[in-house]
Amino acid sequence: MSRGRLCTDLAPPSRTSVLNCAAIQPPYQAGSRLKVIPRDQHCISRKNISDNALKVMSRLRNKGHQAYLVGGAVRDLLRKTNPKDFDVATDATPEAVHNLFRNSRIIGRRFRIVHVRFGPEVIEVTTFRGHHGDGDSDSQNNSGNHSRQSDSGLLLRDNVYGTLEEDAVRRDLTVNALYYDPGTFEIYDQVDGLRDLEQRSIRIIGDPATRYREDPVRMLRVLRFAAKLDFTISSETAAAIPECGPLLGEIPAARLYDEFLKLFLSGHASKSLDKLVEYDLLQDLFPDTDECVHDDPNVLVLLQKAMSNTDQRLVKSKPVTPAFILAAMLWPEVSRLSKIRRDRG
């Protein structure tokens, strides 16, 4: 894999390094499937990484922990775009991370993470996840290891900790499972994420149907990243979506609302709507609206115009609100019911 094919230097303003360059023990062993991409074969530089993320990794590593930049930040830097967020993965438990940073708090129950706040910037720190089947599904031990699944396979708790290699296969998409080592400047790839990044492909890690049953929101994430990155969805990843769509009914409304905001208020609402219709997930989020779309093609045209206008407002840095998107999505059914009422006199 050539450095030139994958990305080029981003050349943002220079920053002073705060990280000790001494390498920690490599996170892989002999016979590992983990691919190691050396410094001279990629373009990521610590100059392009948030100073605060570097501070977090530096403190963790100086205390003997592993700490790596992970996920969307690595993906975006390789794609020559500026990351919106910088996430860190470590072998330190949430409690250990919290004890190291006074400006932090542990959030989440299903999936416990630590937010380390530096003014307006939040660095999200996650502990390496292990195979949830290795944990005690009925109790929580002193280290916090705990996992629990519903009868349908839905992960109710996923706090079993493991190694970097185990963490990689527990993530959702291959392109989001790349790790950057700020000590050796290497990239670690356990799941062929670099290949999929070059091929502009969205692929779920593991068996798609099983991963969707564990967390149905992954289906929405697949569509969202395909829309955001303008990538294609691999055939295996796509095939299981329509049949697993009804599982979204098991997700709490608050969590679905958060994903709804990411779908429609991140500058790619029009493409996201296309994906929801294409993969039959609109019926699982807005069933009445989906029925109207199938009854009258003009309804989809109206919705597309609303989403396109929202995207354009974001490009122009104009304000947008969830209320407008919700009103647009619900308007077809409201209009239909209003017509029925008028016809009845």
287 is written with which tokens?
């069933």
Residue 76: what are its φ and ψ, rounded to 5°? -70, -40
Identify the active-site residue in 85, 192, 274, 288: 85
Work out the angle at residue 173's Cα, subtended by the Cα atoms of residues 167 and 174, and round it to the nearest 5 degrees: 80
172 an active-site residue?
yes
Note the Cα 32 to chain centre separation in Å. 25
For CA atoms 85, 91, 95, 97, give the dihedral sign. negative
| Angle, helices 253-264/217-229, rounded to nearest 10 degrees | 10
Residue 247: what are its φ and ψ, rounded to 5°? -65, -20
Rounded Cα distance, 293 and 243, in Å: 20
In contact, 209 and 247? CB cutoff 8 Å: no
85 an active-site residue?
yes
| Angle, helices 217-229/269-278, rounded to nearest 10 degrees | 130
Identify the active-site residue in 76, 87, 167, 189: 87
Contacts of 278 (CB under 8 A, 6+ apart): none
Rounded Cα distance, 161 and 140, in Å: 12
Identify the active-site residue in 91, 158, 167, 172: 172
Enzyme catalytic residues = 85, 87, 172
